């Protein structure tokens, strides 16, 4: 039986493509559906090209964001999704969703959290002149990029002359490697919340390599 993954997206979908290329149909893992709050997201075309079911859930089509989140959670649940990956999903999911998928949703964020949560993280970091930037993959909770951290990778932005386009390319390179690695670890049962500290994540990386 495959480990069933759902992915939520809003835009281009480069992280989704990385998951399709390195996770989907490999090692007993399957991306069974891709949902978006943006009906025109290019990521949906990427999913459809890979033969993956898609769904469109713009908040404006529902009476409230809470109603939309409940419908989205039900759609994922009906497809027996075991892990939801937010791969550039540009909305905060509310309690109706979190109640259903707490501990089963991860997000990738372009900063070393808890620094620079929310939107424009790369611009904020460059404006602050930080000496290290990076990428974080974390569990999702009710806050904005505030859930327990699973994995991080840092780099020195000075190497890239603080040119935002170059920095963004480096961030994407890390995201496209780090996010699939975390998904593989979770699918293998190698990631769990520390029972003695709910803010801490225990990760066993032995035997789970990069693709």
Is the Cβ–Cβ distance between 22 and 56 less than 8 Å? no
Is the Cβ–Cβ distance between 147 and 193 less than 8 Å? no
- Active site includes 176? no
Residue corresponding to tokens 């620094």: 115
Count of CB atoms within 10 A of residue 186's CB? 24
Count of CB atoms within 10 A of residue 198's CB? 11
Q: Which of 24, 109, 138, 176 is catalytic?
A: 109
Count of CB atoms within 10 A of residue 205's CB? 13
Which of these, 104, 101, 208, 111, lies nearest to 157 by C-alpha position?
A: 111
Is the Cβ–Cβ distance between 155 and 189 less than 8 Å? no
- Residue 155's DSSP bridge partners are 133
Which of these, 78, 195, 193, 68, lies nearest to 140 by C-alpha position?
A: 193
**CA distance readout (Å), 76 to 33, 71, 86, 131:** 8, 9, 13, 40
Count of CB atoms within 10 A of residue 108's CB? 24
Positions marked catalytic? 109
């Amino acid at each position: 039986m495959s480990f069933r993954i759902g992915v939520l997206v809003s835009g281009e979908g480069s992280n989704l493509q990385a998951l399709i290329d390195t996770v989907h149909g490999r090692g007993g893992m399957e991306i069974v559906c891709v949902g978006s709050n943006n009906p025109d997201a290019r990521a949906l075309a990427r999913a459809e090209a890979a033969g993956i079911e898609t769904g469109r859930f713009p908040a404006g089509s529902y009476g409230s964001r809470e109603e939309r989140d409940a419908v989205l959670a039900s759609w994922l649940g009906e497809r027996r999704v075991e892990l939801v990956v937010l791969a550039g999903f540009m909305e905060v999911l509310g309690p109706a969703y979190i109640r259903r998928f707490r501990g089963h949703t991860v997000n990738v964020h372009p900063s070393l959290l808890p620094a620079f949560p929310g939107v424009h993280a790369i611009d904020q970091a460059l404006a602050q002149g930080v000496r290290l930037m990076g990428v974080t993959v974390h569990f999702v909770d009710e806050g904005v990029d505030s859930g327990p951290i699973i994995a991080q990778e840092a780099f020195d932005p000075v190497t890239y002359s603080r040119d935002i386009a170059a920095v963004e390319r480096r961030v994407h390179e890390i995201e496209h490697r780090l996010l699939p690695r975390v998904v593989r670890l979770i699918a293998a049962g190698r990631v769990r919340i520390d029972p003695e500290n709910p803010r801490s994540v225990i990760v066993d990386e032995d035997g789970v390599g990069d693709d």
